[in-house]
Amino acid sequence: MKQNKLIIALIAVTIIFTACNEKNVSNSVNNDSLAAKVDSVLSLMTLKEKIGQMTQINLTVIAKGPNKWASNDTMEIDFKKAKRAIVEYHVGSVLNTVNNLAQTPRTWFENISDIQRIAMDSTKIKIPVIYGIDAIHGATYTDGATMFPQQISTAATWNTKHAFNMAKVCAYETRACGIPWNFSPVLDLGIDPRFPRQFETFGEDPLLVTEFGKAMIAGYQGKYSNIGNENVAACMKHFTGYQATISGKDRTPAYIPDNVLYEYHIKSFKAAIDAGAKTVMINSGIINGESVHASYKILTEILRNKLGFEGVILTDWEDINKLCDRDKIAVNRKEAIEIAINAGIDMSMVPYEYEEFTDFLFELVQEGKVKISRIDDATRKILKLKFELGLFETPVTNYQDYPNFGSKQANKLAYESASESITLLKNTNSILPLKKGSKILVTGPNSNTMNSLNGAWTYNWQGKYTDMYVDGIPANLMATYGKDGKSKVILDNLNPKAYNTIYEAFSKSYGPENVNFLPGVSYKKDGAFYDMKEEDIQKVVDASKYHDYILLCLGENCYTEKPGDLNDLNLHKLQLKLANKLSKCGKPIILVLNMGRPRLISEIEPFMSAVVNIYLPGNLGADALVDVISGEVNPSGKLPYTYPAFPNSLSTYYYKPSEVQNNSQGAYNYVGELNNLYEFGYGLSYTSYEYKDIRLERDSLKAKDSLNLSLTVYNSGDMDGQEVVQVYVSDLYASITPDNKRLRAFDKIYIKSGESKKVSFSIPVNDFSFVNNENKSVLESGDFTVHVGGNSKDLSSLNFFVR
């Protein structure tokens, strides 16, 4: 009997594999035949095998060395451990790296080949493992990968092509490592400048997040999500409301009414689902007292049923355990598993105690507490993903087939994105650009480090080894590069000095004889991201005498997640001290802001002649900065968030009218936009633009119509440039208090000096609907205003009426 079953199983699997062997078959099969294949594999599986598919483990669990976050071990599979997990426990997915550090594509290939060999040769059903990784702004955990600007910088370009390019290059370089699944993009709304992951978002506006998110999905998954060997499956995250906590700290409680979730937070996910996003990761936090991983309503009713998501739902790190260990909504880990799987989780990023997860889930099914149909449903989705990724035919892609890994062309695309993102916030008396030959004193803790240019998720989780990577690897980290040293080849082939710090880029561009560097204050090497030390402030003050300009590079060191939580939004006091001292030297100061969130600078901003926000521009960021400062590039970045002026005045540009209150005697204090330092959408250029002939085709419209708007932008300055035309709409009166205004369209256009360009927009009137307190999307008739301009404050407005 047993024997027969095995023979049938083998025949079935052979049929499946033969069917998949023709090139791209698995990519082009229609849904029906895909479903049939999935079902035939499923029909061969035992309950334990299915549960194994729902289990994701950290690589350290099956690698040589201790199973802990950081060690000094090389990346090598421990066959005994791996067989136990993959063969005995049928584990179907692995994530992350060893020692929390980057590896060469070759090392990746060798390790993933070992894993797949075990899965394909030693198991009964031969289901390939799906490997997942965080490749957030380039292939994070790969030596020599092209590091683009982070998402917040990308959003500051207001040009979605850069999100597409980043994702396309990242997919290619991730596949060059044999990895087919990327935990990106972040579609969270970056509404809170205090939150430690705002830089991972596309900023505060739902439309920007939506449009950039769609571009990234297309870059990752390819046209029509027909995934080939240069694409990866995207994982939109963290569904949903992740960054809207009360405290501004990571993974702390949020209170979000449903209509607010729908109106602002869910839109980008819905668009990504419609664009074919294959997987989703769940918000690790708590909304309205309910851990999101435990929420049947959010996972099944909303994500599955309402939004129609058919892909794989993955937990975030250890989040099922957290239902018990952290949130205290399950009395033990077994109950936590019951709650999460029944809520709709398909795969658990366990990531360590996989025996516990699989055994408990098995018992829960036996006890009837989790239905087998739920297990089948989850397994089906995971198998489907593995088929769609072509893993049955090619369990691991080979780095040798990816000759463009880390190429010049890829780095050029990263540079272009950085140069379009840099945002000029102040330029008193057109002090910028600075002529060649100017004597520049470069100072501040961000002047001479690659860590802060890249931020977290760069060769390491917190990004704190980037300087070492870019400068070659120090002996104490050599252990991670393979005992024979061969895995280091690719890094050696790249010129590690190809990337410049700000100081290096200025020295190269303006000449070493003109540029000097003194840090003034610096980040402590092994401390928390906010730990700083004073170096030589007086020396900087003295040296300023011999220079024409001070380039003051301030901001933050790298961080993400809990380690990046913040108690004070003001810039670090030592940095303020340096700025204050320098402000008395009588030399013009160009303030460069290099940070993951808008830290408060109101105390020093008045003394600055110019302010340039570079956010986290990646490996090519300093080159882009010097090109902007020298005028080779005309800045065209615009803020993707509101830059606050005060710690107690944090609001998005789409605040409610009551945020700005005054009585006729001016007796109340204003809050809201008047207290911002710089508005959302703001950013200066070296040229000037005039908006003319703003016309509406019609000003009385029905719900099914579109608002047709045209205008002409004239470049009245003497430099060619790119302008971001922004269109906002205000619903003047509504049944719940309306947003002040909302971005409804934007376009980035190139205009030569002295020339004009006509721009038109056609925006469906239905876009002006809102989600009311009954959670219904409604369009209410009445008066509206459309505003057009180059930022969210200086706008020309026209009224229209919706019948």
Nearest approach in angstroms of CB 147 to ligand BGC is 17
For ligand BGC, give the closer residue by CB, 200 or 388: 200
For ligand BGC, give the closer residue by CB, 182 or 447: 182
Cross-strand pairs, 727: 745, 788
Nearest approach in angstroms of CB 320 to ligand BGC is 13
**CB of 521 within 8 A of CB of 532?**
yes
**Buried (b) or exposed (e) across 559-579, using 16+ Cβ within 10 A?**
bbbebbbbeebebbebbbebb
Closest CA to 645 of 673, 670, 615: 673
Nearest approach in angstroms of CB 762 to ligand BGC is 37
For ligand BGC, give the closer residue by CB, 49 or 565: 565
**Buried (b) or exposed (e) across 369-381, using 16+ Cβ within 10 A?**
bbeeebbbebbbb
Question: Which amino acid appears at position 95 of this protein?
Answer: L
For ligand BGC, give the closer residue by CB, 209 or 751: 209
Name residues whose C-beta falls within 8 Å of residue 262's C-beta, 6 or more positions apart in sequence: 771, 775, 777
The span from the CA of 654 to the CA of 649, in Å, is 14
**CB of 154 within 8 A of CB of 163?**
yes
Separation of CA 209 from chain center: 10
For ligand BGC, give the closer residue by CB, 565 or 731: 565
316 is catalytic: yes
Nearest approach in angstroms of CB 598 to ligand BGC is 22
Nearest approach in angstroms of CB 510 to ligand BGC is 39
Question: At 120, which helix (H) or strand (E)?
Answer: helix 105-121
Sort 530 into a burial class: Cβ within 10 Å, 0-12 / 13-18 / 19+: middle
Q: Which of 316, 319, 627, 739 is catalytic?
A: 316
Q: HSE, CB side, 13 Å, CA atoms: give it for residue 138.
A: 32
- Name the phi and psi angles at 760, rounded to 5: -130, 150
- State the DSSP code for 705: S
Place of tokens 């009224």: 799
Nearest approach in angstroms of CB 186 to ligand BGC is 7
Nearest approach in angstroms of CB 242 to ligand BGC is 8
Name residues whose C-beta falls within 8 Å of residue 265's C-beta, 6 or more positions apart in sequence: 188, 189, 206, 240, 241, 244, 256
Name residues whose C-beta falls within 8 Å of residue 429's C-beta, 6 or more positions apart in sequence: 609
Nearest approach in angstroms of CB 348 to ligand BGC is 12
For ligand BGC, give the closer residue by CB, 316 or 416: 316
For ligand BGC, give the closer residue by CB, 186 or 620: 186
Name residues whose C-beta falls within 8 Å of residue 400's C-beta, 6 or more positions apart in sequence: none
For ligand BGC, give the closer residue by CB, 250 or 388: 250
Nearest approach in angstroms of CB 476 to ligand BGC is 24
The span from the CA of 560 to the CA of 134, in Å, is 13
Cross-strand pairs, 394: none
End-to-end CA distance of the chain: 73
Closest CA to 681 of 268, 203, 260: 203
Question: At 79, which helix (H) or strand (E)?
Answer: helix 79-83
Nearest approach in angstroms of CB 350 to ligand BGC is 12
Largest CA distance in the chain: 91
Nearest approach in angstroms of CB 197 to ligand BGC is 8
**CB of 503 within 8 A of CB of 448?**
yes
Place of tokens 């095998």: 49
- Reading the block at residue 235, the tokens are 């994982």
Q: Tell me the three state secondary structure of residue 555.
A: strand
Other C-beta atoms within 10 Å of 749: how many?
16
Give the residues lining the site for ligand BGC (CB under 6 A): 96, 134, 183, 237, 281, 284, 316-317, 561
The span from the CA of 544 to the CA of 546, in Å, is 5
For ligand BGC, give the closer residue by CB, 95 or 191: 95
**CB of 742 within 8 A of CB of 729?**
yes
The span from the CA of 624 to the CA of 422, in Å, is 8
Place of tokens 């961080």: 559
Cis peptide before 351 (omega within 30 of 0): yes
Cross-strand pairs, 441: 516, 550
- Reading the block at residue 746, the tokens are 């934007």
For ligand BGC, give the closer residue by CB, 59 or 441: 59
For ligand BGC, give the closer residue by CB, 33 or 71: 71
For ligand BGC, give the closer residue by CB, 92 or 683: 92
Task: Give me the count of residues in the chain.
Answer: 803
- Name the phi and psi angles at 132, rounded to 5: -125, 150
- Strands 532-534, 549-555: pairing is unpaired
The span from the CA of 171 to the CA of 179, in Å, is 9
Nearest approach in angstroms of CB 316 to ligand BGC is 5
For ligand BGC, give the closer residue by CB, 357 or 728: 357
Nearest approach in angstroms of CB 133 to ligand BGC is 8
Q: Would you please indicate which residues are annotated as catalytic (active-site) residues? A: 316
